[in-house]
A = this chain, B = another copy of it.
Amino acid sequence: MILTVTLNTALDLTYRVRSLRPHASHRVSEVIERPGGKGVNAARVLAALGHETIVTGFVGGATGRVLRDRLGDIPGLADALVPVSGPTRRTIAVVDQLTGDTTQLNEPGPQITPAEWGTFLGRYEELLAGVSAVALCGSLPPGVPVGAYATLVRAARTHGVPVLLDTSGEPLRRGVAARPDVIKPNTDELAELTGSHEPLRATQDARRRGAQAVVASLGADGLLAIAPEGHWRATPPARVHGNPTGAGDSAVAGLLSGLVEELPWPDRLTRAVALSAATVAAPAAGEFDRATFEELLGRISVTGRASAA
Give A contacts to B, CB under 8 Å.
15, 17, 20-29, 31, 62-63, 65-66, 92, 94, 96, 99, 101-108
Q: Are B106 and A27 in contact (CB under 8 A)?
A: yes
Q: If the complex has contacts A62-B66, A65-B62, are A104 and B26 also in contact, measured as CB distance less than 8 A?
A: yes
Q: Are A107 and B62 in contact (CB under 8 A)?
A: no
22 examples of A-B residue contacts, CB within 8 angstroms: A15-B107, A20-B103, A21-B22, A21-B103, A22-B101, A22-B103, A23-B102, A24-B104, A25-B103, A25-B106, A26-B103, A26-B104, A26-B106, A27-B108, A28-B106, A28-B108, A29-B108, A31-B107, A62-B62, A92-B92, A92-B105, A94-B105
Q: Are B105 and A28 in contact (CB under 8 A)?
A: yes
Please indicate the chain B residues that have their CB under 8 angstroms from the CB of A63 in the complex.
62
6 further contact pairs, Cβ within 8 A, besides A23-B102, A29-B108: A21-B22, A21-B103, A22-B22, A24-B103, A26-B105, A27-B108
Please indicate the chain B residues that have their CB under 8 angstroms from the CB of A101 in the complex.
22-23
* Chain B residue at smallest Cβ distance from A15: B105
Please indicate the chain B residues that have their CB under 8 angstroms from the CB of A26 in the complex.
103-106
Please indicate the chain B residues that have their CB under 8 angstroms from the CB of A29 in the complex.
108
Q: Are B65 and A22 in contact (CB under 8 A)?
A: no
- Specify how many copies of this chain sit in the oligomer: 2
Q: Are B24 and A22 in contact (CB under 8 A)?
A: no
One of B21, B24, B28, B108 near A107 (C-beta < 8 A): B28
* Chain B residue at smallest Cβ distance from A20: B22
CA distance A26 to B106 in the complex (A): 6
The minimal Cβ–Cβ distance linking A303 to chain B, given in whole angstroms, is 33
CA distance A92 to B15 in the complex (A): 11
The minimal Cβ–Cβ distance linking A273 to chain B, given in whole angstroms, is 24
CA distance A65 to B64 in the complex (A): 13
The minimal Cβ–Cβ distance linking A94 to chain B, given in whole angstroms, is 7
Please indicate the chain B residues that have their CB under 8 angstroms from the CB of A104 in the complex.
24-26
Chain B CB within 10 Å — which of A23, A26, A31 has the most? A23
* Chain B residue at smallest Cβ distance from A28: B107
CA distance A245 to B101 in the complex (A): 28
The minimal Cβ–Cβ distance linking A67 to chain B, given in whole angstroms, is 10
CA distance A28 to B104 in the complex (A): 10
CA distance A94 to B27 in the complex (A): 14
In the A-B complex, the 5 residue pairs with the closest CB atoms:
A25-B104, A23-B101, A62-B66, A28-B107, A20-B22
The minimal Cβ–Cβ distance linking A256 to chain B, given in whole angstroms, is 25
The minimal Cβ–Cβ distance linking A116 to chain B, given in whole angstroms, is 19
CA distance A66 to B94 in the complex (A): 23
CA distance A92 to B25 in the complex (A): 10
* Chain B residue at smallest Cβ distance from A19: B22
